[in-house]
Structure 1
């Protein structure tokens, strides 16, 4: 008789195994009918319920913003999302190690100028075939053509799209409206005017202007100034035969950027990334900041910014060749080493689709879809001068992409960034520094073709 209670316990514990016809093997607790049910858009949203996806993300306004919608996706699909977020330099290192080793720690990774290298090396998925998966995405409703062509270009390799742009940006000038009004200052329209205004403001503020100064962080912004002075990075915008940023025009542009940073930037500017610049501007430590348009929402957030409501936005000042701001986009891509590719693409297509993209645009002022710039809700929510400055940047004719589309991307950033950083750290003759860097970059161009 003593065996009966033990037998009953065993039967109770084993019951789920016998009654498991409605239990999914991943333990999600949904029935097969629920898992395979197709919604009106033709997608079985619960098919991968119980899966966990890891997102390797840069610490960025986009990452902050998507947290507000992740719960919506998890409830819709039963897929768990874990965001692994790191400051930019650490993120780039972890991403490179994970992708190149094939470890597959990240299913989805934020992507930038390393895209060409990653695509050619087979580290990230060609997304073109995935958009033909009718069970994962409604291709017509997704409307990939609405994503700005200028942003897609950097993530297109051999005619195929390898990452979806999510956070488009262009260089603009941020300035303190209240300070400029009090001092009767004119918003700089040229780099000569910017120089004089920064010189004046440096007398009263820790920085007359905020600029990125740390190695690779200088590259994008300094490139825009080189373009505005009539220079270019490469001799040909598609072939990349030879580096030419050491031309007389390139030297003048690099000299202007590095002089502004060295003479009128904050103490320790040689270590300044955009993180430090944004923080200083939010705290009112400078009245001007030249950088990407995407930071607007952080300055207008009263919970973290002391200057909310006091910031003005203007197009990047013009050089002799005009105002030619750099720009680009962060994107999201799929690791080829992911063990959950179907679920990963389901998430990627959802988070970058038009409906969620609009939510993110309204939440964080970030958008890579062209239609959003004229969306009434977006226009009504954000400063008109910011939108005008951003649109001015998008319309500007520039000679090449912000970053050369080459496989030696990491080496390029380090080489040219080191040159700019050295000119910021101390006053030097610009020409020999750029001559040396150009010779090294030319070798990288040639090696990328092999």
Structure 2
């Protein structure tokens, strides 16, 4: 495998013999003699698992895959440039849930059945709120009338991580609501431990992503599409404010003293080093059970994020989708499909989980693997996924996120009062929608 990484420049060429695939419908003939492909991808907690699966693909097929690895924002910019060039240097683009609509609406991806009419999404693979399909005529996400545009490569939803050993010691129950979590966090907070560690730093899709479970649990949102296709700006609704008040209450009473500066890496490390009793984060189970990287091996357990009695639990889809650019040679498109076909197999999905990353296969998440200590996180993921929701479904998502990332961060860092931050963001979102020609409804300012 060729491996390009902006963090550590190195290249590794693995030459392997073609090996037959057994136990799946995907045989060696479908994978053999494919063109080398390049995948542009982000550096993330689940990347190591994906890398391991790519290595397994190469070993089993003899095909070559190059990974172009970048920070989140850098990967997105490379994708945007690539699909608009004369010929993309990437044969698969790994798109995030916050931005994939931009690539669909722009017509930058080839429908997968246009490459191969026989290609299918496995019945065991989640569609993640139909985000794998796009109806270009209706301009909407739907698998009822839309074409298959992508294959999921990682679920990447927020899951509650908690110290199961401390729960047992203090006879605590897994929280179903944010109020219950707050009470548990108060019990576990100490001089050397935060009751909870929350991500609050501004980024490309950072703090906005992590506050969704709070604001949705209280009936809030950012923009909500209505029946007539118009949008209601709910950023400064009383419900969104209530969700943010709970986030801030946790941060102030039991959280990190500098929550506004906490990145995803900080949050995960706070749990791994024994400094946090709870985090609501994307899964990185391989890290927490690795004795070389974790001080809490076997002490972290998992559950669906808390909610409220009125609205239940909800988690944002921050999943990743693999799409094939229009502007690459046909042979490369077929080679990309060969990899995606293999990636969907039960064997590949199990190997993905064994490498420490979450699979996108329902069959694997509900298999006998979930009953083991090593894969105890699978049940939490399977419980949370039915309530996972798409966040932004318009191509102007990056403009909306530029607003929300700043204003949420300012509210958390006390640079701006909460009401003012939400009202300011709502006005700025209205400007984005107005400039793009959308019909929308704006609420009265919060007092």
The alignment status of 1:80 with 2:72, answered yes or no, reads: no
The residue that corresponds to 2:401 in the other structure is: 413
* In structure 2, C-alpha distance between the alignment counterparts of 1:40 and 1:259, rounded to whole Å: 51
Aligned counterparts, 1:195-214, within 5 A: 195-199=182-186, 201-205=188-192, 207-214=194-201
Structure 2 SS opposite 1:54:
strand
Q: 1:444 to 1:53 in 2, by over 3 A?
A: same
* In structure 2, C-alpha distance between the alignment counterparts of 1:336 and 1:267, rounded to whole Å: 48
Q: Which protein has the larger Cα radius of gyration, Structure 1 or Structure 2?
A: 1
The residue that corresponds to 1:126 in the other structure is: 111
The alignment status of 1:432 with 2:417, answered yes or no, reads: no
The alignment status of 1:219 with 2:184, answered yes or no, reads: no
Aligned counterparts, 1:41-56, within 5 A: 41=27, 43-48=29-34, 51-56=35-40
Count of paired positions: 400
* In structure 1, C-alpha distance between the alignment counterparts of 2:39 and 2:414, rounded to whole Å: 40
The alignment status of 1:282 with 2:272, answered yes or no, reads: yes
Structure 2 SS opposite 1:302:
coil
The alignment status of 1:165 with 2:152, answered yes or no, reads: yes
Aligned counterparts, 1:50-449, within 5 A: 51-101=35-85, 104-112=88-96, 113-132=98-117, 134=118, 139=120, 143-149=121-127, 151=128, 153-158=130-135, 159-199=146-186, 201-205=188-192, 207-215=194-202, 216-236=205-225, 239-261=229-251, 264-292=254-282, 294-328=283-317, 329-339=319-329, 340-380=332-372, 382-384=374-376, 386-396=377-387, 401-426=389-414, 428-447=416-435
Contact 1:211-1:265 at 8 Å conserved across structures: yes
Contact 1:152-1:165 at 8 Å conserved across structures: no
TM-score for both structures, normalised by structure 2: 0.79
Contact 2:366-2:378 at 8 Å conserved across structures: no
* In structure 1, C-alpha distance between the alignment counterparts of 2:39 and 2:71, rounded to whole Å: 14
Structure 1 SS opposite 2:69:
strand
Structure 1 SS opposite 2:167:
helix
How far 1:66 sits from its partner (Å)?
2.6
Q: 1:148 to 1:73 in 2, by over 3 A?
A: closer
Structure 1 SS opposite 2:372:
helix
* In structure 1, C-alpha distance between the alignment counterparts of 2:306 and 2:16, rounded to whole Å: 58
| Residue segments in structure 2 that go unaligned for 5+ positions in a row | 1-14, 18-24, 136-145, 439-447
* In structure 1, C-alpha distance between the alignment counterparts of 2:315 and 2:414, rounded to whole Å: 25
The residue that corresponds to 2:7 in the other structure is: none
How far 1:448 sits from its partner (Å)?
5.0
* In structure 2, C-alpha distance between the alignment counterparts of 1:155 and 1:29, rounded to whole Å: 32
The residue that corresponds to 1:36 in the other structure is: none
Q: 1:47 to 1:448 in 2, by over 3 A?
A: farther
Contact 1:169-1:390 at 8 Å conserved across structures: no
How far 1:423 sits from its partner (Å)?
0.9
Q: 1:172 to 1:67 in 2, by over 3 A?
A: closer
Structure 1 SS opposite 2:334:
helix
Structure 2 SS opposite 1:174:
strand
Q: 1:93 to 1:172 in 2, by over 3 A?
A: same
Structure 1 SS opposite 2:419:
helix
| Residue segments in structure 1 that go unaligned for 5+ positions in a row | 1-27, 31-38
* In structure 2, C-alpha distance between the alignment counterparts of 1:428 and 1:199, rounded to whole Å: 27
The residue that corresponds to 1:35 in the other structure is: none
The root-mean-square deviation of aligned C-alpha atoms, in Å, is 3.0
Question: Which structure dedicates a bigger proportion of its chain to helix?
Answer: 1
* In structure 2, C-alpha distance between the alignment counterparts of 1:213 and 1:327, rounded to whole Å: 16
